Amino acid sequence: MAAVMRKIGEPPAEAAVQADSDAEIIRLSAQEPERFAQIFDRHYAEIHGYVARRLGSGLADDVAAETFLIAFDRRDRYDAAYPIARPWLYGIASNLVFRHHRTEIRQYRALARTGADDVADGHAEQIERRVDAQSVRGALAAALAAIAPADRDVLLLVAWAGLSGEEAARALGVPAGTVRSRLHRARKKVRAALGNAYPLADGEDS
Amino acid sequence: MMDDLKILRDAWEGTDAPSPHARAQARAALLERATGPRRARRRLRPARTGVRLLAIGAMAASIAIGVTVVQTTGGTGTTGRPRSVLPGIPAGPVANAAEALDRAAAAADARTFTPPRPDQWIYTEFRIRTSVHAGGLVTGGPYQTFTQRSWQRADGKKRAQIQAGRLKVLDESGNAILPRGYFVLATLPTDPAALLRWVDKVNGKKPGSKGEPRRAFETLSVILRQNLLPPRLEAAIFRTIRTLPGVTLVDNAADAAGRPAIALGMIAEGWLHEEVMIDPKSYAYLGERAISIKGHTLRGAGDDPDVVAGYVKKGVLQNLTVRTAVRIVGEPGQRTS
């Protein structure tokens, strides 16, 4: 037991490496490519989840995998001024998602009709908790299908990926002002959709 | 105000986690690309898509990117003939890559040099100018420049860098593909043919197969860039690059940090010239540059290779890495000896 306790108290041997910023790992991966696996370990689940929302989990398997291969190939170009690689990875993922934009729109339209997708169907225990949000999902999906791809990228990077406007700008390689105007346009459509779904809420809140 | 973003987020809450199978496959694909098949674990793999630039990371500052025709003279003497600034090295502009590399090798051989002690540190400083877009190609700007500083102990066992404003000393992991540390590098062959054999071996060349000149060039460039080298090895690297087919001289090279440069490089992917820069007077190593030499359309990956993701015009700088210091210091964190 004492031995176990001592072991727990010791910092793991890899602690120094684990504490490295994404930028440092990417820098080192230029000469030690295997290190890039740490970037995967840190961010894969999140990128996969984001892509799955946009394209469904089947395509997300491919697109998330491809995101990290492309990131790996471009690691020499990573801007080391940014310690966290999330926006960079989301930018790559966004570009890949765009290549499936027809699938994406089909999925939103299907959701607009049913209000639920296969993912939701598979989680009966969660549905009740989500029922309020789910009930507006159809209206939102219809709005997402109608938003221009560039605007939708910004909207979803902010709403789903949780990026700041500045991070979204960096991810997409566009000026911050462009991100603001795209977000503004997209949110107008989202609000209009919510307003139609819940005229009362619209009246109270906006 | 209605929080439409929160409603949008909540409406898609609870998406499935990736399946362990998908995750394992994706990770294996990445590792395969990173390390190559098991039998060639030590291999440096070239990028399959996108651009590989030689510079690690990005720096920034206001490096003037001018284009100048390089003058390799030290001025003209009283007779009107060009006067060399280095004894034993001819004056006048270099005619081709071979001549430039010969002079760089001779200059390295002639340099006075005091090797570090194993407990001393090598301070390296770069200024890198590259796209502001993380991971993005420069299609015509904007650029960012910044300074990158690092320290490596001469025995190759420790390194240090500034992280979040504080100096951080780390143990060097033992799994580097290229050797680290002055004393390890000092054991490399200094005969060009032997050095090239070593490089090809590092790059996973199979016995009997032809070496890949561009990968050899890249590997030699990285060793030049990242290290304080024994002059004999530096000279050997220049002489080895001289033997690689396809290395060309750029006679109007970048003006890096106000300094004119001779650039020697190879074409990557048919459109990008990756170059090593040397000083046109002293023939000392200056840094690296990558520039598009013809227009290039970037096509998408994924399922639709015809999607045009961007266009890089000819003559657009992709990366400029100027080594602004490489010197022996006593302690990590010190910048001057």
Mean predicted confidence (pLDDT) in B176-180: 70
Banded model confidence at residue B207, pLDDT cuts 50, 70, 90 = low
Assigned domain for A13 exists: no
Q: How many beta-carbon pairs below 8 A join chains A and B?
A: 229
Buried b (16+ CB within 10 A) or exposed e, B294-308: eebebebbbeeeebe
- Amino acid identity, residue B28? A
Q: Report pLDDT for B106.
A: 95
Banded model confidence at residue B186, pLDDT cuts 50, 70, 90 = very high
pLDDT at position A28 over 60: yes
Q: Report pLDDT for A34.
A: 82
Assigned domain for B65 exists: yes
Assigned domain for A102 exists: yes
Assigned domain for A181 exists: yes
Q: Report pLDDT for B113.
A: 92
For residues A89 and A65, is the Cβ–Cβ distance under 8 A? no
Q: Are residues B11 and A119, on separate chains, in Cβ contact within 8 Å?
A: no
ipTM over 0.90 threshold: no
Q: Are residues A99 and B307, on separate chains, in Cβ contact within 8 Å?
A: yes
Assigned domain for B67 exists: yes
pLDDT at position B63 over 60: no
Domain span including residue A153 = 43-119+131-205
pLDDT at position A136 over 60: yes
Q: Report pLDDT for A193.
A: 87
Domain span including residue B114 = 52-71+97-329
3-state helix, strand, coil in chain B (%, to 5): 25, 25, 50
For residues B198 and A7, is the Cβ–Cβ distance under 8 A? no
Domain count, chain B: 1
Q: Are residues A202 and B300, on separate chains, in Cβ contact within 8 Å?
A: no
Assigned domain for A92 exists: yes
Q: Report pLDDT for B60.
A: 22
Distance CA A78, CA B128 (A): 12
* Closest residue in B to A137 (Cα–Cα): B11
Q: Are residues B135 and A122, on separate chains, in Cβ contact within 8 Å?
A: no
Q: Are residues A73 and B319, on separate chains, in Cβ contact within 8 Å?
A: no
Assigned domain for A97 exists: yes
Assigned domain for A85 exists: yes
Chain A: nearest CA to B41, how far in angstroms?
A: 10
More reliable by pLDDT, B146 or A48: A48
pLDDT at position B304 over 70: no
Which residues contact residue B302 at a Cβ distance below 8 angstroms, ignoring those fewer than 6 apart?
A: A63, A66, A96, A99, A100
Residues of A in contact with B29 (CB under 8 A): 65, 69
Chain A: nearest CA to B189, how far in angstroms?
A: 20
Q: Are residues A27 and B170, on separate chains, in Cβ contact within 8 Å?
A: no
pLDDT at position B126 over 80: yes
Assigned domain for B241 exists: yes
Assigned domain for B44 exists: no
Domain count, chain A: 1
Q: Report, in angstroms and rounded to the nearest whole number, the Rg of chain B calculated over CA atoms.
A: 22
Cα dihedral A60, A64, A65, A69, rounded to 10, equals 150
Assigned domain for A28 exists: no
Which residues contact residue B325 at a Cβ distance below 8 angstroms, ignoring those fewer than 6 apart?
A: B123, B124, B125, B335
Mean predicted confidence (pLDDT) in B268-278: 84
Assigned domain for B221 exists: yes
Assigned domain for A14 exists: no
Assigned domain for B247 exists: yes
Assigned domain for B92 exists: no
Assigned domain for B62 exists: yes
pLDDT digits (tens, 9 = 90+) for A61-116: 999 999 999 999 888 888 877 888 999 999 999 989 988 888 899 889 888 876 55
Q: Report pLDDT for A171.
A: 92
Strand B121-131, strand B296-299: pairing:
unpaired
The CATH number of the domain holding residue A78 is 1.20.140
Chosen from A17, A21, A31, A206 to mutate, greatest number of chain B CBs within 10 A = A31
Residue B129: enclosing H or E segment and its boundaries?
strand B121-131
Which residues contact residue B230 at a Cβ distance below 8 angstroms, ignoring those fewer than 6 apart?
A: B113, B115, B182, B185, B186
Q: Are residues B8 and A37, on separate chains, in Cβ contact within 8 Å?
A: no
Closest CA to B27 of A39, A51, A21: A39
Q: Which residue in the set B27, B29, B47 is minimally distant from A73, CB to CB?
A: B47
DSSP sequence for B275-334: EEEE-TTT--EEEEEEEESS-EEEE--TT-TT-EEEEE-TT-EEEEEEEEEEEEESSTT-
pLDDT digits (tens, 9 = 90+) for A146-204: 999 999 999 999 999 999 998 999 899 888 899 999 999 999 999 998 886 654 443 33
Q: Are residues A68 and B30, on separate chains, in Cβ contact within 8 Å?
A: yes
Banded model confidence at residue A124, pLDDT cuts 50, 70, 90 = very low
User: Is the model's pTM score more than 0.80?
Assistant: no
Closest CA to A137 of A122, A120, A152: A120
DSSP sequence for B184-225: HHTTS--SHHHHHHHHHHHTTPPTTSPP-HHHHHHHHHHHHH
